[in-house]
Amino acid sequence: MKKVLIVTYYWPPSGGAGVQRWLKFAKYLPEYGWEPVILTVDPEYAAYPAIDLSLQKELSADIKVHKTRATDWFRIYSSDKSKVPSAGFATNSDSNWKGKAGRFIRGNFFIPDPRRGWNSFAFNKACELIEKEKIVTIVTTSPPHSTQLIGFKLKKRYPGIKWIADLRDPWTDIYYYDQFYPTWLSKRIDRFYESTVLEKADRVITVGHRLKDLLSEKADGLEAKTDVIMNGFDESDFKDITRIEPSEFTITYVGTLSHKYPVNGFLKALSELKKENIDFSFRVVGQVPENIKDVIKVAVSSDSVDFISYTPHDQAITHMANSSLLLLIIPENGDNKIIMTGKIFEYIASGRPILCLGPEDGEAAVLISKLNNGRCFDYADTRNIKSYICEVKEHPFILKDDPSEFSRRNLTKKLASLLE
């Protein structure tokens, strides 16, 4: 069986969509003749924004996972690992001097990101594995985009190796980039890293067509060597899920909320429904800052809101499946038409209708419309948001279209063909 080295910072016990993407690829690659060899950071030295121990049960005993130490620069920010900011300070409060200083340091002294403290350790271990295991194909996946610099360095050391760079998010075009206050010089250095990686990689993979278009503009010839393999859902995650109709009409949001996720138009719709004595429950599963919780509580009475902190992946899926309506929010920023969250595919697989807030011509909206699995509305379109909630409440439905093209097994088949 051919071997592929997968270099990924995020791996169980880390939680999140980025972990699941390559965890699921590794799970199904052997079916297509590839043995995955995983190189990741030792959790003792890692900076994870979330922990999900349930994902460890996905790991086959046959998969080789190699872990190395790292320099954890996030300890400068906080000695408490539970306070490691997601997206590298992007969702942290910016109201005090420590928040602003942390962002500035992150954006100008740790380029492309603080997790590059893993790079030297990972590079040395990767060289050892390549020579010992006779590996001729490697994949680096990001964010953190510093991981791509490991691939670049390996390509220089072993010119004959095939290097595939997987980018799950934009790099210098990410919506929170300017929140790090990068100077002109910092931006130039970061853009140089970005263009170098894209040019030198043998193949580039993205999670959406609009992201492919965005990256293809970075250098000549990129479009021809860039492929789209979307995120997806694993059928096995839903195998033992029993879909139960909630006793009360329940709208569920799963994920993190920040100020970049506009909810005022949606909350106004809920407030109006409440005044009209239309019963519902709004369930939020994930990390929510206290100030946003307060906004939600003001708009909707406390007895109609249920906040559930970050839960293991299997429990999150159960919450999705046992809902009346699922809320999906695309962050509001200049490039949000390209955003294709990993969560959307599990929403689809749950069979429940989706109410999406975001650009109505964005890639997420197009997918939801294609599968006839819900509607997408502008953030401030309270009237139509309210109307759709009432429509689903009166006429509930389960997705009937076949979403199997987005199953992890089928997506891995496409990946295997690119590895050849």
pLDDT digits (tens, 9 = 90+) for 315-351: 899 999 999 999 999 988 777 888 888 889 999 999 8
pLDDT at 160: 95
Query: Can you tell me the distance from the alpha carbon of 353 to that of 160, in angstroms, rounded to the nearest whole number?
Result: 48
Residue whose structure tokens are 């970005």: 194
Which of the four pLDDT bands, split at 50, 70 and 90, describes residue 69? very high
CA dihedral 94, 298, 316, 47 (to 10 degrees): 10
β-bridge partners, 329? 357
Sign, CA dihedral 400-230-43-2, equals: positive
* DSSP-derived secondary structure letter, 201: S
pLDDT at 357: 95
Q: Give the class (CATH, top level) of 235-394.
A: alpha beta
Cβ atoms within 10 A of the Cβ of 232, count? 27
Q: Which among 327, 365, 94 has a CA at the least distance from the CA of 210?
A: 365
Amino acid at 235: E
Q: What is the mean pLDDT of the segment spanning 68-95?
A: 59
At 155 the three-state DSSP class reads: helix
pLDDT at 82: 41
- How far apart, in Å, are the Cα atoms of 98 and each of 93, 288, 290? 9, 20, 18
Contact criterion met (CB below 8 Å) for 140 and 151:
yes
The domain locations on the chain are 2-233+408-419, 235-394
pLDDT digits (tens, 9 = 90+) for 154-193: 999 999 999 999 999 999 988 888 888 899 999 999 999 9
Which of the four pLDDT bands, split at 50, 70 and 90, describes residue 88? very low
List phi, psi (to 5°) of 271.
-60, -40
- And the tokens for 224? 């021809």
Q: What is the mean pLDDT of the segment spanning 355-365?
A: 93
Are the folds of 2-233+408-419 and 235-394 the same?
yes
Which of the four pLDDT bands, split at 50, 70 and 90, describes residue 85? very low
pLDDT digits (tens, 9 = 90+) for 125-140: 999 999 999 999 999 9
At 22 the three-state DSSP class reads: helix
Mean pLDDT of the chain, nearest integer:
89
Residue whose structure tokens are 């390209």: 338
Check pLDDT > 50 for residue 83. no
pLDDT digits (tens, 9 = 90+) for 250-270: 999 998 888 778 899 999 999
Contact criterion met (CB below 8 Å) for 318 and 239:
no
Check pLDDT > 70 for residue 87. no
Which of the four pLDDT bands, split at 50, 70 and 90, describes residue 59? confident
pLDDT at 373: 87
In CATH, what is the architecture of 2-233+408-419?
Answer: 3-Layer(aba) Sandwich (3.40)
Least confident of 79-93, 202-216, 230-244, 390-404: 79-93
pLDDT at 75: 64
Query: Can you tell me the distance from the alpha carbon of 100 to that of 90, in angstroms, rounded to the nearest whole number?
Result: 11
- pLDDT: which is higher, 376 or 99: 376
Check pLDDT > 80 for residue 103. yes
Check pLDDT > 50 for residue 248. yes
pLDDT at 61: 83
Query: Can you tell me the distance from the alpha carbon of 209 to that of 229, in angstroms, rounded to the nearest whole number?
Result: 9
Q: What is the mean pLDDT of the segment spanning 86-102?
A: 61
Check pLDDT > 90 for residue 398. no
Q: What is the mean pLDDT of the segment spanning 238-242?
A: 79
Check pLDDT > 90 for residue 35. yes
Check pLDDT > 90 for residue 51. no
List phi, psi (to 5°) of 36.
-80, 135
Residue whose structure tokens are 């010839």: 221
Question: CB-side exposure of 362: number of CA atoms within 13 Å?
Answer: 26
Check pLDDT > 50 for residue 84. no
pTM here is 0.87
pLDDT at 91: 47
To the nearest whole percent, how much of the chain has pLDDT over 90?
A: 61
pLDDT digits (tens, 9 = 90+) for 283-321: 999 888 888 998 898 888 888 899 998 788 888 999 999
